[in-house]
Amino acid sequence: MKIFPFRNDIGRNRPKPGEKKKAKPGNHRFRAWLRLYGRTIRRLAIAASAVFLILLLYIPTRSVKGIGLTEGQIAKENIIAPFDFPVMKDQEALEQEQEIEARKILPVVRVSEEQTEALKGAVRDFFYDVESILDTEEEVTEQHRMISELDVPFTETARNVLLDLASETRLRQEVSVFFDEILNSGVLSDAEYFSESGYDRLSVVRDGEEFALALDQFYDLEEIHLIATERGRQVFDENHALLTTFYEVVNHFVAPNMTYDVTATATRRDTRRMSVSPFTELYLKDQKIVGAHERVTKKDMLVLRSLEAKLVEEQIATSPWRRLYPVVGRFLVVVTVITLFATFLRKSRPKIYERDMHLILLAVIGVLGIGFSATLDAFDLSMYLLPIALVGMLASLLFDERVGMGVVGAYLVVIGLLGGLPLPLLFTLSVTGSTAAYGVAGIRNRGSFWKSLSYLAAAYIVSIAAADFLHLTPSMDTLRKIGFGLLSAFASAGITMITLPLFENIFKVTTNITLLELSDLNRPLLKNLSLFAPGTYHHSIMVGNLAEAACEQIGANSLLGRVGGYYHDIGKMSKPEYFVENQIGGENKHDKLSPKLSALILVSHVREGVEMARRARLPKEIIDAIKEHHGTACMAFFYDKAQRSAPGYEVPEGDFRYPGPKPRTRVNGVMMLADVSEAAVRALDEPTPTRIRTRILKVTNAKFEQGQLDDCDLTFRELRLIQESFVPILTSSMHSRIRYPDELKREERQIAVGDLFRKSPRKL
């Protein structure tokens, strides 16, 4: 089989027989180096990208915080001006003042002498051409044709007027006079625009001179059509033919000779805006800004911001190198925090640390939070809108609460140091971030989500009130802060619900919400399983229940165990009649097959299940559960049958083993034990509690002794807890009851009807 079927030069440079292929120098060294350090390089690249984006996004608009006061806070000491500095105006007020000044600049309109002469020349040339046609003394029909070739859409009446010498002479005189009048006054195409903009005067530039003239001194292009009609009636009285021709000539040749100079107008207005002083007053050295124990007002904040801006200006002017100090400081802060967080992942969550996509996802969550924070800082919005809840919820839902708390802590350190946040705000953010991370951990329904959201709202209210009461500053500002906090909580919850499926699909992360959706028994795969393999369906439900109970006992993801149990045997739908739980009437199709073929059919249900799961786009965790729920176990029944059918021959045991791999997670290990326990107990003739317990211990211990649990992290204690959790569930499910004759007959009829209408699945 050709690996590269589209290449026709394969083998052209093959080494001759007996000749070894020469490796490129240094190629094997590079590959070895890449295998050794490739993962480290990828992690460093992810960390470097995160550092770069954070530093790029979070460039504080106020480099020096100076006095870390906020509006409404009480100053603990007198704040004195250290030097003379001007106070900047409020940005909104400054922009309004600039716009008022810019409106005083009149629109600049230029009179084009070239355009004026061109229009007059076009009229003269037209009548010159008409006179030339009259001088030809051709037939009238030919003269009509020649006038039509002048590219002027005249009516027949107008052509007759033009071909009459007396009428043409009078018409030429009146048209020339009319064009001289309107062009000398000026023709505009934007008069209505200026009027609607509130301008009744224009700055007109003509022959190098500029005058401020009233708008009504100029003609509008639309207005000229009416004026031409009135002029024609005055001049030609009742001569309708001359009136029509006059209007047609004017309508064809008239055009504006005044243009609106947008660039000059904008330049003048920008200059006028720049002339507005951005300062309101001058604070002198040693002048008091805010007194001790006084509330900081909005005006005081303008003065403090002006002081901070002046401090930055003074620092930069003192030493150019100081410009780099904040940048280096921010870089060191971000690098240190990311290093500590990576260390936490490596020690506490090695599986997350080993997967590049998970590290990228964590970096995206952090950068997303920093981006929102930078937006708030850029628009000078309340810092109580910081998306600490969004960061905590996403990290906790996508991973777990410990990772969520780690992300919250890292985010707080970065924002607190880069933004210079006050301590009361940091207290509120730490409380609400922790509540968000722990509140959504393990949620399995909408009620739990709304409950966690109520906890988050309560955390905002209590933490903000506590900080303000501690500083003796409760006021309406406290309610405003609480309002911003609640807005942040609900906005974060909404964004989390919107972005969570996106992150799950892109980064292949399975959350409890996804598992809850997959646990719906009406989903197509489970619905088809119940229709075409009812025995397997019942077995899968039992395995899911067993796995869920066992996972709860050992602290694993019980929801993943339940959902994995539901889907672990979906591959049996392709050949349901070859599996004993689906066989009705006692007939076993394997009795007519060779042991090896039977083993191949049993093994195929794993491969078929994986393919079905991939087509249905099930998460990787579910696909792994399908692969690993049998591990590399040997199908002992068919192996023994093969040995008995071929005495004296050695039967390869590998032909009767599942392909594996062995369970690599605790949940998949639990699922293997639940699968084998349910099948073994159901095979008991008399399932008494003692026999059920004995059978569970026997089959689960056998899996351990066979080494099927070597690759997962189950301990002996957890194995004992798993076994004990299986016993009550399987004992209660195997209870016996009295069967009545009428009931037996009804069941036989139902089975017959079911066999009649059951069809094989075409597309599963």
Which H, E and C letters describe 497-525, residue by residue?
HHHHHHHHHHHCCCCHHHHHHHCCCCCHH
Q: Could you tell me if residue 318 is inside a domain?
A: no
pLDDT confidence of residue 736: 54
- The answer on 622 and 557 residing in a single domain is yes
Percent of the chain with pLDDT over 90: 33
Q: Could you tell me if residue 687 is inside a domain?
A: yes
Out of 253, 269, 285, a domain closes at: 269
Out of 447, 480, 509, a domain closes at: 509
For residue 739, how many C-alpha atoms fall within 13 Å in the half-sphere facing its CB?
A: 8
Q: How confident is the model at residue 27 (pLDDT cuts 50, 70, 90)?
A: low
pLDDT confidence of residue 753: 39
pLDDT confidence of residue 735: 60
Q: At 350, which CATH number?
A: 1.10.1760
pLDDT confidence of residue 757: 35
pLDDT confidence of residue 232: 78
Residue 277: CB partners within 8 Å, gap ≥ 6? none
Give mean pLDDT, residues 157-165.
76
Cβ atoms of 169 and 130 within 8 Å: the answer is no
More confident residue, 531 or 191: 531
Q: At 705, which CATH number?
A: 1.10.3210
Q: Which of 522, 631, 612, 519 is closest to 566 using CA atoms?
A: 519
pLDDT confidence of residue 318: 58
Distance CA 185, CA 562 (A): 89
- The answer on 647 and 607 residing in a single domain is yes
Q: Could you tell me if residue 424 is inside a domain?
A: yes
- The answer on 543 and 495 residing in a single domain is no
Give mean pLDDT, residues 546-553.
94
- The answer on 543 and 493 residing in a single domain is no
Residues 402-411 have pLDDT tens digits of 999 999 999 9
Cβ atoms of 623 and 613 within 8 Å: the answer is yes
More confident residue, 123 or 12: 123
Residues 427-439 have pLDDT tens digits of 999 999 999 999 9
pLDDT confidence of residue 430: 95
Least confident interval from 72-76, 120-124, 487-491: 72-76
Residues 553-568 have pLDDT tens digits of 998 999 999 999 999 9
pLDDT confidence of residue 34: 65
Query: Which residue shows structure tokens 């933004």?
Result: 419
Mean pLDDT, the chain, integer: 82
pLDDT of residue 75 exceeding 50: yes
pLDDT of residue 395 exceeding 80: yes
Q: Could you tell me if residue 25 is inside a domain?
A: no
Give mean pLDDT, residues 541-558.
93
pLDDT confidence of residue 615: 93
pLDDT confidence of residue 51: 93
Distances, alpha carbon 605 to alpha carbons 210, 326, 710, in Å: 91, 62, 24
- The answer on 180 and 122 residing in a single domain is yes
Q: Could you tell me if residue 49 is inside a domain?
A: no
pLDDT confidence of residue 755: 42
- The answer on 675 and 592 residing in a single domain is yes
Q: How confident is the model at residue 756 (pLDDT cuts 50, 70, 90)?
A: very low
Q: How confident is the model at residue 326 (pLDDT cuts 50, 70, 90)?
A: confident
pLDDT confidence of residue 559: 92
pLDDT confidence of residue 6: 36
pLDDT of residue 231 exceeding 90: no
More confident residue, 676 or 228: 676
Which H, E and C letters describe 370-383, residue by residue?
HHHHHHHHHCCCCH
Give mean pLDDT, residues 5-11.
40
Give mean pLDDT, residues 682-704.
90
More confident residue, 735 or 749: 735
Give mean pLDDT, residues 708-730.
92
pLDDT of residue 69 exceeding 80: no
Residues 611-647 have pLDDT tens digits of 999 999 999 999 999 999 999 998 888 888 888 887 7
Q: Could you tell me if residue 291 is inside a domain?
A: no
- The answer on 481 and 436 residing in a single domain is yes
Distance CA 433, CA 459 (A): 9
Cα–chain center distance at 204: 52
Give mean pLDDT, residues 491-496.
92
Q: How confident is the model at residue 120 (pLDDT cuts 50, 70, 90)?
A: confident
Cβ atoms of 325 and 95 within 8 Å: the answer is no
For 201, the domain range is 103-269
Q: Is the four-CA dihedral 652, 653, 655, 656 of positive or negative sign?
A: positive
Neighbouring C-beta atoms of residue 627, cutoff 10 Å: 23
- The answer on 531 and 504 residing in a single domain is no
- The answer on 542 and 483 residing in a single domain is no
Overall domain count for the chain: 3
Prediction pTM value: 0.60
pLDDT confidence of residue 93: 83
Q: Could you tell me if residue 6 is inside a domain?
A: no
Residues 350-384 have pLDDT tens digits of 889 988 999 999 999 999 999 998 888 877 688 89
- The answer on 502 and 551 residing in a single domain is no
- The answer on 719 and 575 residing in a single domain is yes
pLDDT confidence of residue 503: 92
Distance CA 613, CA 204 (A): 77
pLDDT confidence of residue 9: 43
Q: How confident is the model at residue 65 (pLDDT cuts 50, 70, 90)?
A: very low
pLDDT confidence of residue 726: 94
User: Following CA atoms 487, 490, 493, 495 in sequence, which dihedral angle do they give, to the nearest 10 degrees?
Assistant: -60
pLDDT confidence of residue 663: 94
Q: Could you tell me if residue 67 is inside a domain?
A: no
Residues 569-581 have pLDDT tens digits of 999 998 888 888 8
pLDDT of residue 541 exceeding 80: yes
- The answer on 526 and 505 residing in a single domain is no
pLDDT confidence of residue 562: 95
pLDDT confidence of residue 347: 92
Give mean pLDDT, residues 67-83.
75
Residues 43-62 have pLDDT tens digits of 999 999 999 999 988 775 54
Out of 486, 509, 532, a domain closes at: 509
Give mean pLDDT, residues 299-323.
73
Max avg pLDDT among 78-87, 160-169, 348-357: 348-357
